[in-house]
Chains A and B, each alone.
Chain A
């Protein structure tokens, strides 16, 4: 007697499996979703196909001058030919190994943070990044010591200047911001008042007015005959501005720490600074990593404003070469190049902050 043999399962209908099902669920689930998909799809194709054609397929990437370019495609030759200027500004060509060395050191302290290396190595490289690197960068790029010829800041420019402004700004703004945040939560009314006024003032005014003050009015505030470098003045302005934002971010973290942590730390008999340093700040800073990352990213983007006070950062350097009569019309290429550079840095930083946030997640949050 033959046993009952169930037939093998039928495959689901074609519309319920594979990519067809995916399409149905994700693109054509209802009639208005279908309309949306078609409209947006049409828009994407009609915009991006010509754009890709212009930017890559018809584009010319290398050459000797404007003549090499194709009128229907992007002229990346312009970027290729001026890359040195975009990266270093007016920095003398024979000394460019110095910023290059700094870039290498920078990469050395940053790139391993993304690699699966032992924590101690990463930690020491990070510590080098915030202590040794700025010093080394100063001595190498500015020169004037150890037999290196001095290069005045008026010759610094391009991406190098952007990175210097951003890096120094961040390194200086974070500690000042933490102190301001602690001050704002202090029990001493005078200190609290001073910090509140300071933070609210810098947060209320546009960065451009601050840079303007730094470049034009600061000499008025200093004793007669005392001057300091324009780049340094811009840095002071940027740092004070960003430290106020940093302070608000850190304050958010301080407020999120339960009272019990403060009380427990006090009960242990720790003094104020040790309480903050050992108990409160490590927890608070961890909570606000996304906020700090956002502030860092916005600082990085804000460095472009220095072009308004006449410093040649990356955007300034590119913009100043756009009017070169030797190149007919490379405006779109120039701006796209700058946009791409900033985008890579900013996007990279936001990804890194996500990663760091996950890494430091110890599961105590509820």
Chain B
């Protein structure tokens, strides 16, 4: 039996040896590996969706690509790791991924008690309801007695219960383990309403057999700021991820986009010069190249381009900017200045 024990020991050691020992500095790790490991949703059109060749597209995906462009100078140096809602936080905590960009709502509990840091918001969202047009419902307050499809393991389930209880209505929760399955249940008429973040609803609506048969109700019952997440305790990396997104928002504000970035480098606007690294050492103090934003903008574009390409009005998702417009356009996107 000694051999048994030895073999178990060897097997265990072998397993441990296969694991990669993460270093203290995520930035170093990413540079050494030559690629960024990014946790994304396992399939949500407009945010992170693989085509059949495994090429990922979406807003959350581009958020990661932008970080890769800033750190490695190559927007394609990303390994996308699809995660379920239940796995996402442990995957980040254990170091399996470097950034989590998986429409994750920023809440107190998650920020404070899970050992995570939210670096910002790449989409301001809120929970809404999708209903079949044939039901003739035009307000969420008329939903008493409805069967509601929702995804397990999200804040959605709790908001739903709160909303119905606060308005003294009854409901029947049909809970699925993925957003895709909940949309399928809604499509099969298992339930009358599908509830999720409105952006997700817009995305899931495109997957219905007849997308035009369903409408999103006007009521939004919660605040859901979605954004990238990193591990707590690595401020250098936290800053990098944070400022790449701020850089993209600032770039939009100052009119820098992927078509004009090469000319804008020679701009006389001191704000633009600082963003693109023509003046100052913004990149250096973040641990990056000074022209890191040039790389980001030319490969991914500014925030507006990223938004329009993935979820904007001309895509099947068809979201308008709404509150996600710049503060100068009446929205709430307001990035701190490069200075």
* A touches B in complex, CB < 8 A: yes
A137 to chain B, nearest CB (A): 17
Q: Enumerate chain A residues within 8 angstroms of B211, measured Cβ to Cβ.
A: 325
Give the segment of A222-230, A258-266, A342-350 that binds chain B: A222-230
Q: Enumerate chain B residues within 8 angstroms of A325, measured Cβ to Cβ.
A: 206-208, 211, 316
Q: Enumerate chain B residues within 8 angstroms of A186, measured Cβ to Cβ.
A: 1
Contact A219 B90 (CB under 8 A): yes
Contact A323 B207 (CB under 8 A): yes
Q: Among A91, A323, A328, which residue has its beta carbon within 8 angstroms of that of B183?
A: A323
User: Complex: how many Å from CA A308 to CA B91?
Assistant: 16
Q: Which B residue sits closest to A154, measured CB to CB?
A: B81
Contact B90 A328 (CB under 8 A): no
Q: Enumerate chain A residues within 8 angstroms of B177, measured Cβ to Cβ.
A: 308
User: Complex: how many Å from CA A84 to CA B53?
Assistant: 9
Asked if A152 is at the interface of the complex by the 8 Å CB criterion, the answer is yes
Q: Enumerate chain A residues within 8 angstroms of B79, measured Cβ to Cβ.
A: 152, 154
User: Complex: how many Å from CA A217 to CA B90?
Assistant: 8
Contact A225 B95 (CB under 8 A): yes
Contact string, B153-189, partner A, CB cutoff 8 A, digits 1/0?
0000000000000000000000001001001100000
Contact A310 B42 (CB under 8 A): yes
User: Complex: how many Å from CA A236 to CA B18?
Assistant: 13
Q: Enumerate chain B residues within 8 angstroms of A84, measured Cβ to Cβ.
A: 52
Contact B86 A216 (CB under 8 A): yes
Q: Enumerate chain A residues within 8 angstroms of B208, measured Cβ to Cβ.
A: 325
Q: Enumerate chain B residues within 8 angstroms of A216, measured Cβ to Cβ.
A: 86-87, 90
Q: Which B residue sits closest to A319, measured CB to CB?
A: B180
Asked if B209 is at the interface of the complex by the 8 Å CB criterion, the answer is yes
Contact A227 B94 (CB under 8 A): yes
Q: Enumerate chain B residues within 8 angstroms of A92, measured Cβ to Cβ.
A: 53-54
Q: Which B residue sits closest to A94, measured CB to CB?
A: B53
Contact B94 A155 (CB under 8 A): no
Contact A328 B209 (CB under 8 A): yes
Give the segment of B19-27, B128-136, B192-200, B266-274 that binds chain A: B19-27
Q: Enumerate chain A residues within 8 angstroms of B180, measured Cβ to Cβ.
A: 320, 323
Contact A90 B53 (CB under 8 A): yes
Contact B15 A236 (CB under 8 A): yes
Q: Enumerate chain B residues within 8 angstroms of A226, measured Cβ to Cβ.
A: 16, 19-22, 94-95
Q: Which of A228, A309, A324, A329 has most B Cβ within 10 Å?
A: A228
User: Complex: how many Å from CA A320 to CA B93?
Assistant: 27
User: Complex: how many Å from CA A232 to CA B19?
Assistant: 10
CB within 8 Å of B: which of A209-243?
212, 215-217, 219-220, 222, 225-230, 232, 236
Asked if B84 is at the interface of the complex by the 8 Å CB criterion, the answer is yes
Number of residues from A at the complex interface, CB < 8 A: 45
Contact string, A161-187, partner B, CB cutoff 8 A, digits 1/0?
000000000000000000100110010
Asked if A273 is at the interface of the complex by the 8 Å CB criterion, the answer is yes
Q: Which B residue sits closest to A179, measured CB to CB?
A: B4
Q: Enumerate chain A residues within 8 angstroms of B339, measured Cβ to Cβ.
A: none
A152-B79, A183-B4, A215-B87 given; A227·B52 CB < 8 A: no
Q: Among B16, B82, B83, B184, which residue has its beta carbon within 8 angstroms of that of A222?
A: B16
CB within 8 Å of A: which of B68-97?
79-84, 86-87, 90-91, 93-96
Q: Which A residue sits closest to B92, measured CB to CB?
A: A219
Contact B53 A228 (CB under 8 A): no
Contact A220 B18 (CB under 8 A): no
Contact B1 A320 (CB under 8 A): no
Asked if A85 is at the interface of the complex by the 8 Å CB criterion, the answer is yes
B54 to chain A, nearest CB (A): 3
Q: Which B residue sits closest to A322, measured CB to CB?
A: B184
CB within 8 Å of B: which of A66-110?
82, 84-85, 89-93
A362 to chain B, nearest CB (A): 29
Q: Enumerate chain B residues within 8 angstroms of A91, measured Cβ to Cβ.
A: 54
User: Complex: how many Å from CA A182 to CA B209?
Assistant: 56
User: Complex: how many Å from CA A323 to CA B178?
Assistant: 13
User: Complex: how many Å from CA A322 to CA B180?
Assistant: 10
Asked if B50 is at the interface of the complex by the 8 Å CB criterion, the answer is yes
User: Complex: how many Å from CA A312 to CA B84?
Assistant: 12
A154-B81, A191-B1 given; A309·B87 CB < 8 A: yes
Asked if A188 is at the interface of the complex by the 8 Å CB criterion, the answer is yes
Contact A309 B52 (CB under 8 A): no
Asked if A321 is at the interface of the complex by the 8 Å CB criterion, the answer is yes
B280 to chain A, nearest CB (A): 35
Asked if B228 is at the interface of the complex by the 8 Å CB criterion, the answer is no
User: Complex: how many Å from CA A186 to CA B4?
Assistant: 12
A92-B53, A183-B1, A310-B83 given; A228·B42 CB < 8 A: no
Q: Which of A191, A217, A227, A228 has most B Cβ within 10 Å?
A: A227
Contact string, B128-151, partner A, CB cutoff 8 A, digits 1/0?
000000000000000000000000
Asked if B7 is at the interface of the complex by the 8 Å CB criterion, the answer is yes
A215-B87, A230-B81 given; A90·B4 CB < 8 A: no
Asked if B43 is at the interface of the complex by the 8 Å CB criterion, the answer is yes
Q: Enumerate chain B residues within 8 angstroms of A230, measured Cβ to Cβ.
A: 81, 91, 96
Q: Enumerate chain A residues within 8 angstroms of B81, measured Cβ to Cβ.
A: 154, 230
Q: Enumerate chain B residues within 8 angstroms of A152, measured Cβ to Cβ.
A: 79
Q: Enumerate chain B residues within 8 angstroms of A323, measured Cβ to Cβ.
A: 180, 183-184, 207
Q: Which A residue sits closest to B20, measured CB to CB?
A: A227
Q: Which of A225, A308, A312 has most B Cβ within 10 Å?
A: A225
5 A–B contact pairs at CB < 8 A? A89-B54, A90-B50, A182-B4, A226-B16, A324-B207
Closest 6 CB pairs of A and B: A90-B54, A219-B94, A85-B52, A228-B19, A225-B22, A226-B19
Residues of A within 8 A of B (CB): 82, 84-85, 89-93, 152, 154-155, 179, 182-183, 186, 188, 191, 212, 215-217, 219-220, 222, 225-230, 232, 236, 273, 308-310, 312, 320-325, 328-329
7 further contact pairs, Cβ within 8 A, besides A215-B84, A232-B18: A82-B52, A90-B54, A154-B79, A219-B94, A226-B22, A226-B95, A230-B81
